[in-house]
Amino acid sequence: MTDYRRLYIPGATYFFTVVTEGRHPLLVSPAAIDRLRESFRYALECRPFRFDAVVILPDHLHAIWTLPTGDDNFSERWRLVKYRFSHRSPPTDVTRRSLAEKREKGLWQRRFWEHCIRDDADFGRHLDYLHYNPVKHGLAGRAADWPYSSFPRFVALDVYPMDWGCPAGVPAIAGDGGE
């Protein structure tokens, strides 16, 4: 067992990676994406926070959240998201006895990875990593081509040009602002 310690800082901004159990491509159907979005809304309603950025890939997601002043409980928020998504998902064939005994569907890895954002430069690096992830994994030709991302919001805010995240030598699609 590792001696891992989480860093809980009230009001801090965090970058997260959350992975599906066994890297199963759970987040591919429009229905699954809708369930996840509803689960985020549920967590926001129960335990408010600022949802800064997100990218949803078939087997994992990355998010940046800022917690309210005086509140450091990001773990409870992720518990709410995972619980709501799992509760609203169709039944599964749970193969691990330990999961079945706890009445868990085994959709998510139990843990998640977090990083406390240190400053604006750190925020920018993690925002770039998050939005470039679909390109990195070969799921999109450029960041703007991936539908399950906060990238369009950051284009509208003039943080990124539309053709950002387009690998060298790959032309942007004409007519979409990325020419």
**pLDDT tens, residue by residue, 55-88:** 999 999 999 999 999 999 999 999 999 999 998 8
pLDDT confidence tier of residue 175, bands split at 50, 70 and 90: very low
Pick the CATH number of 13-117 from 3.30.70.1290, 1.10.600.10, 1.10.10.10, 3.40.50.720: 3.30.70.1290
For the stretch 82-104, pLDDT in tens is 999 998 887 655 555 555 554 55
Asked if residues 141 and 166 have their Cβ atoms less than 8 Å apart, the reply is yes
Catalytic machinery residues? 148
3-state helix, strand, coil split of the chain in percent (to 5) is 35, 15, 45
In this prediction the pTM is 0.87
Q: What residues contact 52, with CB distance under 8 A and at least 6 apart? A: 13, 63, 64, 65, 66, 127, 150
| Secondary structure of residue 48 in the 3-state scheme | coil
